[in-house]
Amino acid sequence: MLATQTSCAHHNPAGAIALPRARTAYITNVRVLRENGGRVSWGRARDLIAYDVLGANGYYEIHIMRPDGSEDSCLTCAKPGLPQRHNGQPEWHPSGDYIVFQSEQASHPGPSREATPGFGRHSDLWIATSDGQHFYPITQGPRSDDYGVLHPHFSADGKLLSWSEMYGAPETFTHKGGGGYWRLKVADFAIDPAGKPALTNVRSYEPAGKALYENHGFSTDGTQLLFSSNYEATKMFQFNAESIYSLELATGRVVKLTADGYNEHSIVSPNGRKVVWMSSHGNANRGTDYWLMNLDGTDKIRLTNFNDPDNPLSHGDRLICADSDWSADARHLVGYVQTSLFHQRGMVIMIDFSDEIAHAAGAVDP
């Protein structure tokens, strides 16, 4: 069994999740960094991992730690001027100087649960300096049931920011509106003369009309935006209608990258050639595992088998592999694996890749 890091302030032996220490063709090791953790971003410039975590007060906060789980600190706790409600879904700027994240509005209609980082309603985008000394709101949406933000991502050069923005409240008994109506947003990002971050030239994309569009970030060259959507759904509660697509920003051309099962949370490798994503394909329990493909959707391989009861990596219960990010050397993946989809609870794990996978994604031997 894997030993969890004991330096975390959120260590919870009573709810401990153990994963088997197993070697596969593509993975040499899996270990738990945090038994209680959430969405992740690996800041390659400083080699630090940002993640969100549910605190004792019932709200998510953003923490920063070393890749081995040490030197954990809270970025957003008790910071003046920042709404002290849900703060999550962090994403590092390539410089390592800033983190963008979702922050629940100080007041809004509806319950606070709708603003948890995985849902994003009643939230705006904020920027924090990496030392946690300065916080800036960069979107200020209406206080209504029809607004929210999700999954901000910077381009590799740091000059663009993308996210999903909600403009229509959920319509439960419709085949495309069960999660609300969202559009993809892209803006130019810069630091203004006063030292404050600013967005300009904001544009919107809805490649196939009204639906849920979840932003996954840019290709390395910044020409494409990866996203998942249910716009091909033809009936209510169609679990397998969520697929991953690429959008060519200059032309609007859309390419479907996945076809089988439920697919979400894609992230491009450091060299821009590979994509890790999560899929339910092949899992009878409807859990999800991490997969790898080329940027054009070819050469798909399964990386983990957490939901296969006959595999050494199986945990025994359904797990939902969700948000993830690559290390700079492409040899590791930090991931958020949900143990309860309903309660949005999970753990942060570290996956070590075999040389085959690492080299394909950009690793160079010393």
**DSSP letter assigned to residue 271:** T
The whole-angstrom separation of Cα 226 and Cα 205 is 12
Burial of 52 (0-12, 13-18, 19+ CB in 10 A): buried
Q: Which pLDDT score is estimated for 7?
A: 31
Statement: the pTM of the whole predicted model exceeds 0.85: yes
Cβ atoms of 38 and 54 closer than 8 Å: yes
Biggest CA-to-CA distance, the chain: 59
Contact, 17 vs 339, CB < 8 A?
yes
**Residue carrying the six token digits 């983990």:** 304
Closest C-alpha among 213, 288, 290, 294 to residue 254: 213
**Of 154, 46, 181, 47, which is closest to residue 100 (Cα–Cα)?**
154
DSSP secondary structure, 70-101, as one string? -S-EESSTT-TTS-SS-EEEEEE-TTSSEEEE
200: tokens are 């300009």
> Which two tokens mark 147?
């607004």
Dihedral sign from CA coordinates of 352, 292, 296, 219? negative
> Which helix or strand (DSSP H or E) is residue 128 part of?
strand 123-129
* DSSP state, residue 207: B
* Burial state string for 115-137 with b = 16 or more CB within 10 A and e = fewer than 16: bbbbbbbbbbbbbbbbebeebbe
Burial 56-66 (b: 16+ CB within 10 A, else e): eeebbbbbbbe
Dump pLDDT digits (tens) for 225-246: 999 999 887 776 666 778 999 9
- The CA R_g of the chain, rounded to the nearest whole Å, is 19
- Exposure b/e, 75-101, CB count within 10 A at least 16 = b: bbbebeebbbbbbbbbbbbeeebbbbb
Q: Are 257 and 224 in contact (CB under 8 A)?
A: no
Q: Are 149 and 114 spatial neighbours (Cβ–Cβ below 8 Å)?
A: no
- The SS3 call for residue 119 is coil
Helix %, strand %, coil % for the chain, to 5?
5, 45, 55
pLDDT < 50 stretches in the chain: 1-17
The string of pLDDT tens digits covering residues 156-176 is: 999 999 999 999 998 877 777
The topology (CATH level 3) of 20-337+347-361 is Neuraminidase (2.120.10)
Percent of the chain topping pLDDT 70: 92
> In angstroms, rounded to a whole number, what is the distance separating the alpha carbons of residues 53 and 91?
14
DSSP H or E stretch at residue 149: strand 148-154
Secondary structure element (H or E) that encloses residue 360, with its range: helix 355-361
Instruction: Write the single-letter amino acid at 9.
Output: A
338 contacts 320 by C-beta, under 8 angstroms: yes
